[in-house]
Each structure stands twice: as structure tokens, then as C-alpha cells.
Amino acid sequence: MHDPLLAYVRTLASTPLTESEIDVIKQVFVPKKLRKKQYFLQEGDVCQFMGFVVSGAMRQYTVDSKGVEHVFQLSIENWWAGDLESYTMLTPSRYYIDAWEDTTLLTVSKADKYELAALPALGEAMSRLDQRHAFALQHRVNAALSLSAEERYAELARTYPAFLQRFPQHVIASYLGITKETLSRVRNLPAKK
């Protein structure tokens, strides 16, 4: 059950995990199953848990005043799900998070996460994780501000091709900040060149 998470943590840590560290991880990460379409978080709630995706696929999005969904984050195996800001600041979230497929998560509360951070190897792993997260966001800001729809799609296809297999186009389109019609055209035009 916890194996994918342990493997993941090992890629982040600079030292091998000790037995006791492995025990703590198994203890604080509690499994949770979500059915397709089931909510993990709803707007207005405080995000009490971060979830490591063991299997399945999830979607994090806002709903604007016109009722349109704006996908902010997609998560598949070996990614995280949760609203980090709500989780760390204990503020109500602006996001919905739900399962796009039946999904298995390993969830950890904020208090337990502090316990983890106290262990040297895991504290280091977590700060690396936060860094990676920040870098990914940095790239997305860049892409969103300075690339066209076609370029953004090409970049996604290059960087995270797995997403394209797992989510339908209208979800991908929203993630890219464009409409499904535009995505459809952008995908088909290059084929005709």
C-alpha cells in the first residue's frame, strides 16, 4: 500500500530511509479511497489533508461567478492532491478537488506532517518537494503569460504527456486556460501541415 510513497520519498531524500522513518510514514499516512466524481475538498472547506495519489486521477478547480470551472491542477499516480494554502494557513479553500477516476490516496494531516518534518531525512525531502512545487508553478506562470494556446498545448504534451491519456480534452483545455473548441482546433491543425 505505502510502497509507491516510500519509493517516491527515496527519490527525494539524500540518505536511505531508516526502519523507524518507514514506520512513521506508514503510521501517519492513512489510506483513503475515492469513487469517481467524489469530492476530496469543496470550496469553503479547510483542507485538512494532503493526499499522495497511489492510483487514479484527480482534478482541482475553481468555479467562477458564471459557473465555469477553471482547472488549476491535475494529479495522477505519484502526484499530490490538496490545497496547500488552505492546508498550511487553515483558511477556507477556493477550490474543489474531486476524483476523475476511482482513486486511492494516502492522506496526511497537518499535525502529522510536522511530526514528519522533524525527522532530518524527511524534513529535507519535504522541503525539496515544496521547491519542486514552486518551480512547476513558476513555469506555469511563464507559460500562461507569454505563450499562445498552441504553444502551451505543445509544452504540456512534451512535459506531461501522461495527462493527455488520462483526462478528456475539455479538462486539458481548462487546465491550459482555453476552451475545448480551441484545443480541438489546435490539435488538428498541426496534423494537416
Partner DNA sequence: CGCGGGTTTGATGATGCTCAAGCCCGGTGG
Partner DNA sequence: CCACCGGGCTTGAGCATCATCAAACCCGCG
The C-alpha atoms of residue 175 and residue 156 are separated, in whole angstroms, by 10
131-150 residues near DNA, rule: CB under 7 A: 148-150
The C-alpha atoms of residue 25 and residue 171 are separated, in whole angstroms, by 33
Does 179 contact DNA by CB under 7 A? yes
The C-alpha atoms of residue 104 and residue 151 are separated, in whole angstroms, by 33
Report the partner that residue 185 touches, choosing among DNA, a copy of itself, none (CB closer than 5 to 8 A by kind).
Answer: DNA
Does 157 contact a copy of itself by CB under 8 A? no
Query: Strand pairing of 103-109 and 96-99?
Result: unpaired
Does 154 contact DNA by CB under 7 A? no
Judged by CB under 8 A, the number of residues near a copy of itself is: 24
The C-alpha atoms of residue 79 and residue 25 are separated, in whole angstroms, by 17
Report the partner that residue 145 touches, choosing among DNA, a copy of itself, none (CB closer than 5 to 8 A by kind).
Answer: a copy of itself
Q: Enter the C-alpha cell of residue 169.
A: 480534452
Instruction: Choose the stretch contacting a copy of itself; rule: CB under 8 A; options: 23-31, 44-52, 99-107, 142-150.
Output: 142-150
- Pattern 99-138, DNA, x by CB under 7 A: ----------------------------------------
Q: Enter the C-alpha cell of residue 38.
A: 467524489
Q: Please state the φ and ψ torsions of residue 190, each to the nearest 5 degrees.
A: -55, -30
Does 59 contact a copy of itself by CB under 8 A? no
